[in-house]
Amino acid sequence: MSQYSPNPQIAVLDTGGQYTHLIARKVRELGVYAEVLASETPAAELSRFHGVIISGGPASVYEAGSPTIDPALLTSGVPVLGICYGIQLISHLLDGNVAKGDRGEYGVATLELTAADTLIEGVLNNRQVWMSHRDTVTAAPSGFHVFARTGTCAVAAMSNPEKKQYGVQFHPEVVHTPEGTKILSNFLFKICCCQKDWNPRSRVPAIEERIREVTAGRKVFFFVSGGVDSTVAYTLCLKALGDDRVHGAYVDTGLMRDGETEFVQGIFASLGAKSFHVEDARTRFLDALAGVTEPERKRHIIGELFVEVQETILQSGHYLDVDWILGQGTIYPDTIESGGTSKADLIKTHHNRVAGIQKLIDAKRIVEPLSSFYKDEVREAGRELGLPAELLDRHPFPGPGLAIRCLCSEADFELKQDYDGWVLPVHSVGVQGDSRSYRAALAIDTLDHAAATRLTNERLDVNRIVGLTAARVPLASMKVHRSELNAPRLARLRKADSIVRSMSLASGFEKQVWQFPVVLIPVGDAVNQDSVVLRPIDSVDGMTAQSVLMPPELLRQMCEALLAVDGICAVFYDLTHKPPGTIEWE
């Protein structure tokens, strides 16, 4: 361990959950250092820890080959807390029972406390918790008592205090479980008897130390986006190595927001970056993406083309010599949602993890200072570095740019009406029970989050609910149009995004949300063949998110301005939390 990393007191066993490292981060925020280990780590190796937390995961415990733990852990005397898949695994390995539920439970639920327990001391009753599961514990093991439930889940929390074994079906590690920090604190300090040994602030010296270790005297070349992550990573390398060892380039792909290139140039000028230039690759990217409709192919084309552009630039400046390596601002959600842990289900394909980048990683010619950090931690590092709030308070923006917010269709499709609303055959990515889904959206005629949550829990054919807020024509007159990624559609999306950003900023709404994607979908009538989806969400780190409603008058004015844009037929409002819908649509 380095001077910045004490001996870990808590082990988080990774069963492939999307929130595995979020658990470890929450433990660290409580002042206790945690380490993430493989779920099958032998019990003998876990005996040095004060406690063990078993993460959630996408598998079913009763299926062959599903992640497991060393059963001896449950007889070792080490305190254990199972979360989501973890509670199911404890039940399965003992004499409890786990079965597929009648319906899934994704997003917000209300926790009813039915008995006292050390794990919930000081926790208020009937508070919100965050769920993401379909399987459920139908019978607790012998010696366990059940002390909480929800409207859908009879065994929402259970324990065997004598053996110091606990389980919760919900996710206490996410921000959308308000009492979650208290529950984790009870486990750490009242059950595991941990001592505070970790300060979650002042991490910059440790990151700089790691940069110097990884670079080992080599120089670093950055391809920066102008977002928080890449700029903080660049600045960290600048501080750790000096300006003569850090060079940067910004690639204008033609997929960026209005005014983005000018903003980036201004930021890096203010940092005093001596070696920084803009590479104009707009034509190259748009030509490569012409005619492409499939979202995964989009990401792969963008990722591989980034590598090609990188190699061209690097070769032109001799940056491919052995004394140079590549720097990136990849943060942890980019890797965890790309199948970056041993058992994590693929949720999205990140452009920093395509084959070309992976070759550089395998060759150990890459430094990613923030790859173990979350967005809020990155901002904290930026504040320590003295970066301006103008940059740090920016909403996250995806590396592939507007390309993944401009949805396409390979053919025309009719909308389908049923008893709940209209099924839009425009598929988007979701995350349900820690697994990836790729399903249609359902349009309803109300902005009701409760209805949206109920519908995504009940229906298997959709993973996203949108409310129709304004339209030129009725939904019955619309259809999905064959469409591709091209300059006119990107210009339309860029204009819509600019309208939304300017109105959100002027009204103060931008400060009320963590991110506000604007999505273009090929739904409309014969004249105006596209529609806009508004996706304002609240989050801390992007691992979970809640859809946020804007003030009615602002929404009315925004819809009026958007419908004045040529080619836009309607405005929809994404009511879907994460889970079951990812923040981005692709």
Residue with token string 């406390």: 113
What angle in degrees, to the nearest 10, is found between the helix axes of 204-215 and 375-385?
90
Burial string for 44-59 (b: 16+ CB within 10 Å, else e) reads eebeebbbbbbbbbbb
As a whole number of Å, the end-to-end CA separation of the chain is 39
**Residue 253: which of 268, 264, 267, 237 has the closest Cα?**
264
| Residue from 173, 337, 368, 586 carrying the catalytic annotation | 173
Contact assessment for residue 10 and residue 49, using Cβ atoms and an 8 Å cutoff: yes
- 171 has catalytic annotation: yes
Torsion, Cα of 315, 320, 321, 327 (10° steps): 140
- 406 has catalytic annotation: no
Q: Which two tokens stand for residue 398?
A: 């995806």
Distance CA 468, CA 465 (A): 10
| Residue from 50, 171, 247, 481 carrying the catalytic annotation | 171
E strand or H helix at 135: strand 127-139
What angle in degrees, to the nearest 10, is found between the helix axes of 228-241 and 375-385?
40
E strand or H helix at 366: strand 366-367
Distance CA 224, CA 421 (A): 43
DSSP string for residues in 313-351: HHHHTTTTSTTEEEE----HHHHHTTT-STTPPP----G
3-state secondary structure 252-301: ECCCCCCCHHHHHHHHHHHHCCCCEEEEECHHHHHHHHCCCCCHHHHHHH
E strand or H helix at 29: helix 20-29
Contact assessment for residue 471 and residue 571, using Cβ atoms and an 8 Å cutoff: yes
DSSP type of residue 393: T
- 145 has catalytic annotation: no
Distance CA 127, CA 110 (A): 6
Distance CA 67, CA 64 (A): 9
For the chain, the maximum distance between any two Cα atoms, rounded to a whole number of angstroms, is 69
| Residue from 21, 50, 84, 481 carrying the catalytic annotation | 84
Distance CA 199, CA 448 (A): 41
**Residue 99: which of 90, 109, 107, 88 has the closest Cα?**
88
Range 155-159 contact pairs with CB under 8 angstroms and sequence separation of 24 or more: 155/87, 156/111, 156/112, 156/129, 157/87, 157/111, 157/117, 157/119, 157/120, 158/87, 159/117, 159/118, 159/119
* H helix runs in 109-227, sequence order: 180-185, 204-215
The three-class DSSP label of residue 79 is coil
The contacts of residue 95 (CB under 8 Å, 6+ apart) are 141, 142
The contacts of residue 287 (CB under 8 Å, 6+ apart) are none
Q: Which amino acid, one-letter code, is at 76?
A: S
- How distant, in Å, are the alpha carbons of 188, 269, 540 from that of 310? 46, 22, 32
- Catalytic annotation, residues: 84, 171, 173
